[in-house]
Structure 1
């Protein structure tokens, strides 16, 4: 009898192991609500309320790469140049280049173009202190569990940046202090049977791949549109084109270009949720 019970246990474990997926390919839709932090109606009239783009995540339980799906027909969200709400668009980089993660080494590489030059931004995978709840829901036929994360980020409140580059000499006018940083909540739904710590953009480090993610109550939302249980190994390659720089070095290059261009108002290369 004990042998039969042991045999059944082994078979059960084997079936469960086979049901667990450790690689795949996911297509996401990312929706940014541009009006979330802009209350001025004049400025709202100059930009679309929503900005939609699509990405593909190729992953295993040890590496992943996240790529923008080009859409030549997508409208330019800040195409009015300096018109309307005072928005100007420059290429300050760091936004939609391929993002490669190595979960074994704990390092990332992101391809980016800045000022007409190619860069490879190297960084560590920063720890994310998720709180996992018992709440579940089904996404694309997969049972997912809920996890939440709170982070502190700068509070731009939809205001235009202004470095006062052409401020007259001797002008002692008091500059307005930037708003205090604000805490936001991120809600993720991760697949319990897809055992990879991957997810869209900079998000992940959960015991299952993220299929849906909501940043700051709808400011940025990622939703999985398709899920395949296989991945093309040829896609799982670390970007190699460009000069390697650290995140800090790249930030300094951005600031220098920003100042040389005289500042900009609200357009940028942030994908809507970097940590």
Structure 2
């Protein structure tokens, strides 16, 4: 019991020191996050595609679903963007509908202002630049007493549940097999694909935040806890902080993105769904063929 009281005193003292440290107006920090999204490959590819072919495509997709982001933050503002890297040379080959869709997404900086509760995101989709303007999502966080250590930071667990109707690009489905000429099967697959596009899903979010950095910021659109969020598990995605730099010598100007066609989140989701269905129909009409053609 004495040990427990001692630990609580250490936490309380650390929190008090942290609050005093972060009260300064020119305070700034940088947090580096690794984002990984698991992919269901069980239904991916053409019927008869070899495991080696699947593996090559999975390796190419790894760069799409494993990213490093940097969150630059102050007390009230943050900018979240992908760490710049040299692009690996293209290996060519088949990627089908997914390769076409994924290569058409370019996610730009995401800006959050927790005072005005506003969110701005720069997004390029099929050659068009959009500026998604929205209010910050309101999470009904349930904060528990469970803790764990992430690096040198003691973190507390919080959970929330949201409803999402965003299209899930990680759940691949085989196109209809034209050789079988099974209209009933084709119809079932088309209906299943349509449900993927329109269904609202319930997603549970598990977040770990540290009160040693007492700001209500976090990676991506996550925010609203009494400390910086260092880890998020939501649906098939895990975002984990790997490094934090407090008050770096070289300050970064946090500037909200301003270029692109202004749309709301709902309007942008409709644009994405319509284009996704268009690509799906074109892909289906070609019998599921896509990518770089036949090899000689």
Aligned to 2:36: 31
Matches within 5 A, 1:13-32: 15=17, 17-19=19-21, 23-32=28-37
**TM-score, structure 1 normalization:** 0.72
Contact 2:18 2:212 in 1 (8 A): no
Structure 1 pair 249–150 and aligned structure 2 pair: CA distance change class (3 A): closer
Structure 1 pair 152–26 and aligned structure 2 pair: CA distance change class (3 A): same
Query: d(CA) in 1 for partners of 2:228 and 2:22?
Result: 12
Deviation readout 1:76-124 (Å, 9 max, x if unpaired): 7996322xxx64423554x621100111111111001123222211011
Deviation readout 1:153-189 (Å, 9 max, x if unpaired): 4596824398xxxxxxxx9956534266543322211
Matched, 1:150 2:161: yes
Q: Report the secondary structure of 2:95's partner residue.
A: coil
Query: d(CA) in 2 for partners of 1:213 and 1:14?
Result: 25
Q: Could you say which structure has the higher helix fraction?
A: 2
Q: Report the secondary structure of 2:247's partner residue.
A: coil
Q: Report the secondary structure of 1:158's partner residue.
A: coil
Matched, 1:205 2:205: no
Displacement after TM superposition at 1:75 (Å) = 7.9
Matched, 1:68 2:82: yes
Structure 1 pair 23–260 and aligned structure 2 pair: CA distance change class (3 A): same
Query: d(CA) in 2 for partners of 1:248 and 1:239?
Result: 19
Aligned to 1:132: 143
Matched, 1:112 2:112: no
Aligned to 1:183: 202
Structure 1 pair 142–19 and aligned structure 2 pair: CA distance change class (3 A): farther
Matched, 1:55 2:60: no
User: Could you say what the CA RMSD is over the residues aligned between the two structures, in angstroms?
Assistant: 3.6
Q: Report the secondary structure of 1:128's partner residue.
A: coil
The count of corresponding residues between Structure 1 and Structure 2 is 239
Query: d(CA) in 2 for partners of 1:120 and 1:182?
Result: 25
Query: d(CA) in 1 for partners of 2:223 and 2:142?
Result: 13
Displacement after TM superposition at 1:145 (Å) = 0.8
Query: d(CA) in 2 for partners of 1:153 and 1:96?
Result: 19
